Structure 1
Amino acid sequence: MRIGITGGIGSGKSFVCQLLKQRGIEVYDCDSAAKRLMHTSAQLRQQLSALIGPDTYLQDGRLNKAAVAQFLLTSEENAKAIDNIVHPAVFDDYEKSGIDWVESAILYESGLDRLLDKVIVVTAPEDVRIKRVMQRDHISEAKAKEWITRQLPQEIVRSKADYEIINDGETPLEPQIDNLFK
């Protein structure tokens, strides 16, 4: 059975995945895989360079994050063009990994849910999410709110998911994870 774990920025989905790993469950991390593939896949590097331009990669071979961000933020079409290159590569890598569990912040937006049997959403109140993002990324409250509003609203993700784990800092997580296995 393939199981997806999702949740908006600051919800604590990565923390829940760490708890699963402590139980011996391997979880494929889509964000890490995308970063790895953008550095290691010759095909992905070629496609991104053809789309964005010669400044996509630095002289030392590392991804030029500033150039990619500038291209990405210029238009919604540019963001979709990058997604159309990166998402299929990540999906393919996930399918080849043999790992049943997968973590993705944009599970529904990317279409990854079509490959899964069940989806778990990790949720937290917005004020908690804002504080977590501000502390983790050392950004302003306004920036944290902006990042949250760029994602699919938590209520929509919750309505599509099969299970919910509440990670509000008060509700114990271990019993909720135990219930997943019942």
Structure 2
Amino acid sequence: MFIVGLTGGIATGKSTVSAMIKDFGIPIVDADLIAKQIVETGKNCWKKIREEFGDEVVLDSGELDREKLGSIVFSNAEKRRAINKITHPEIYAEIRRQVFRHFLNGEQFVVLDLPLLYESNKVTSYLYKTIVVSCDDELQLERLMSRNKYTEKEAIARIEAQMPLENKCSMADIVVENSGTLENTRKQVEGIIKLLRSSKRHIYNRVVYGGLALGLLVVAFLLLYWLCFR
């Protein structure tokens, strides 16, 4: 199995592309979904966030006030680092678990949907290919303001909190241009899926890592034999 990274700028349409990829039957490991699950009421990350940021970021229902928390961390780099320190270890632990399950299921490849793929730079060395979803700057700002009801100033702050989109595109193996119609985007995704399905990388990985695992088992067996019968 091999892993493909999917990322993009905020409001460029990454979730739309991720959904299209899933429609083709490709397994998705969704870091955004994992991030929401680990901060559910009463969980370990929820407790740490409440301790770090106070009751002001907790609603009467006990759930985190995401808008309030977002306004804090996007306007304060130190607070952003604090919440990343709380959440990232659990996010990446769950990512590893899900990827391993897909490996055991015999999948050819899995797509890791990770908004801060390049910013965190924690998994890029494990990826076979990276895909960046891009769109025009003005369209990105317009989409974000419309989607989240942000003022222009708030939207710009959130865009600038991420790595510049042009930098991500320059680092990507594949760029999906999502400024046009959904049909145009879908055609791009279809071409990418065909390209990835034609790859033999999964065979190479299974031979290499399977051989390594077998070698370790043989060494362990020989060591155990030597300890028992020397």
1:84-163 paired onto structure 2 within 5 Å: 84-98=85-99, 99=102, 100-114=110-124, 115-163=126-174
Listed one character per residue, the Cα deviations across residues 73-123 of structure 1 (whole Å, up to 9, x for unaligned) are: 563222101101111211111111135212122111122433433210011
The alpha carbon displacement at 1:135 in A equals 2.2
| Greater Cα offset, 102-111 or 6-15 | 102-111
The alpha carbon displacement at 1:38 in A equals 0.6
Contact 2:75–2:157 (CA under 8 A) maintained in structure 1: no
Of 179, 185, 198, which aligns to 1:173? 185
| Greater Cα offset, 74-83 or 52-61 | 52-61
1:69-80 paired onto structure 2 within 5 Å: 69=70, 71-72=72-73, 75-80=76-81
The alpha carbon displacement at 1:71 in A equals 5.0
Equivalents in 1 of 2:153, 2:62: separation in Å? 34
Counterpart residue number, 2:45: 44
Contact 1:87–1:110 (CA under 8 A) maintained in structure 2: no
Q: TM-score, normalised by structure 1?
A: 0.85
| SS of 2:40 mapped into structure 1 | helix
Equivalents in 1 of 2:130, 2:42: separation in Å? 28
Equivalents in 2 of 1:73, 1:136: separation in Å? 17
Amino acid of the residue matched to residue 62 of structure 1? E
**TM-align CA RMSD:** 2.5
Q: TM-score, normalised by structure 2?
A: 0.69
Counterpart residue number, 1:62: 63
Question: Relative to structure 1, is the Cα distance of residues 50 and 117 closer, same or farther in structure 2, using a 3 angstrom cutoff?
Answer: farther
| SS of 1:25 mapped into structure 2 | coil
How many residues get paired? 182
Contact 2:13–2:178 (CA under 8 A) maintained in structure 1: yes
Q: Identify, as 1 or 2, the structure richer in helix.
A: 2
Equivalents in 2 of 1:66, 1:50: separation in Å? 18
| SS of 1:63 mapped into structure 2 | coil
Counterpart residue number, 2:5: 4
The alpha carbon displacement at 1:54 in A equals 5.2
